[in-house]
Amino acid sequence: MEWIGWISLAIFVAALIYFAVSAVKAFKSIKPKVDHLKAAQQRIQTETDKIKGETDELKVHQEHIMADVDHAKQAVTLTVNEAKQIPQNAKFFAKTAADPIKNKKTAKA
C-alpha cells in the first residue's frame, strides 16, 4: 500500500514537470507572435499620431481659408453697397455742382 502513495506522488511530480515544460514551450511559441503584435501596435500608434498631426494642420489651414473667405465676402459686400450708393451720390454731386452755377447766373442777372 505504501508503494501506491509513492507512485501517486511520482505521477503528480511528472504531471507538474510536464505542465512546466508545456508552459515553457507555449510561452516560447507565443513570444514571437506577441512581439509581432506589439510592433504592429506601435506602427498603428505612429500612424495614428501622424494622422492626428495632419488633421490639426488641416484644421489650421481650414481656419485660414475661412478667414480669407470671410474677408473676401466682406470686401464684396462693401463694394456692392458702395456701388448701390453711386446713383444717390451722383445725384447729390450733380445737384451740388449745379447749385453754384445757378447762383452765378442769378448773381449776374
The domain ranges of the chain are 1-109
Q: State residue 90's pLDDT score.
A: 79
Give me the tens of pLDDT residue by residue for the chain, a chain 109 residues long: 688 888 999 999 999 999 999 999 999 999 999 999 999 999 999 999 999 999 999 999 999 999 999 999 999 999 998 888 888 877 887 777 766 655 555 555 5
Q: State residue 38's pLDDT score.
A: 96
DSSP string over the chain: -HHHHHHHHHHHHHHHHHHHHHHHHHHHHHHHHHHHHHHHHHHHHHHHHHHHHHHHHHHHHHHHHHHHHHHHHHHHHHHHHHHHHHHHHHHHHHHHHHHHHHHHHHHH-
* Residue keyed to cell 505521477: 11
Which one-letter amino acid corresponds to residue 104?
K
Q: State residue 87's pLDDT score.
A: 84
Q: State residue 101's pLDDT score.
A: 59
CA distance 42 to 8: 49
Q: State residue 46's pLDDT score.
A: 97
Q: State residue 103's pLDDT score.
A: 57
Q: State residue 70's pLDDT score.
A: 95
